[in-house]
Structure 1
Amino acid sequence: MLTLTQDLYDRIVAHARQDHPDEACGVVAGPAGTGRPERFIPMLNAARSPTFYEFDSKDLLRLYRELDDRDEDPVIVYHSHTATEAYPSRTDVTYANEPEAHYVVVSTADKDGLGEFQFRSYRIVDGVITEEEVQVVEAY
């Protein structure tokens, strides 16, 4: 189960809506080994695409150095789908290289009347997608 604060939930959703119609992407880091998401890190979608997201390689390298320096893990890796349901695509599964991370997909298809808003979380390990419950709390 993914447990995150209302503030983090709201910030992820706001980023997804702000970047619509392009996909948004980012990370929420937490203290190493705790699995607790704490620090919101919005990233730039280098692809600037409504159907695909890609972290800029320099930004990603800088992020991982920063995480290492701060003794943090990427607890949540999130992105949005702008015209489809919040379910990982084949490409999303290919890029899922953090077996301990929660992969959050936010569908902003509701902004264009193409579907309903969705916020869903998955574990993706060795290509296997497992949806998990999301619990939003006021504070930890």
Structure 2
Amino acid sequence: MLTIDQATYDAIVAHAKRDHPDEACGVVAGPEGSDRPERFVAMVNAAGSPTFYEFDSTELLQLYKEMDARDEEPVVIYHSHTATEAYPSRTDIGLAMEPNAHYVLVSTREHGNNEGPVEFRSYRIIDGEVTEEDVTVVTQADTRSTD
């Protein structure tokens, strides 16, 4: 199950709506081994496409260096679908290389970048196997320290 705070949920949805009709993508980092999405990082879709997303390799390398320096890992990897349901495509499944990550998909097909609800779903993708999981949105992030 993915537990995510309202502000992060809203930031992911806002990014998906803002980039529509192109797919949006990004990462929510969190402390290694915590399964707590804490640091929202909107990324650039280097493909600039309504049907495909690709992280900019320079930006992605910089993010991984930052996460490494901060003892973080990608807890959520998200992107949007602009014309189809929020379910991983064959390409999405092939690109899923983080076995501990929650893969969030947001579909903006119904309202685009206008007001209105989106489809927000989360999956675990391990060795090509897709498993949908429940999403719980909480008012505030769990601020307990693991020190």
Q: TM-score range by the shorter chain?
A: over 0.9
- Within 5 Å, give how 1:1-140 maps onto structure 2: 1-112=1-112, 117-139=118-140, 140=142
Deviation at 1:110, TM superposition (A): 1.1
In structure 1, list runs of 5 or more residues that go unmatched: none
| Matched residue SS, 1:35 | coil
Letter in 1 for 2:82: T
Native 8 Å contact 2:103 2:122 kept in 1: yes
Letter in 1 for 2:29: A
Structure 1 stretches of 4+ moved >2 Å? none
- Counterparts of 2:118 and 2:29 in 1: how far apart (Å)? 24
| Matched residue SS, 1:11 | helix
Q: So what's the TM-score if we normalise by structure 2?
A: 0.91
Letter in 1 for 2:131: T
Root-mean-square deviation over aligned CA pairs: 0.9
Identity of aligned residues (%): 68
Q: So what's the TM-score if we normalise by structure 1?
A: 0.96
Write out per-residue CA displacement over residues 90-127 of structure 1, whole angstroms, 9 at most, x where no aligned residue.
Answer: 00001100000000000000125xxx720000000000
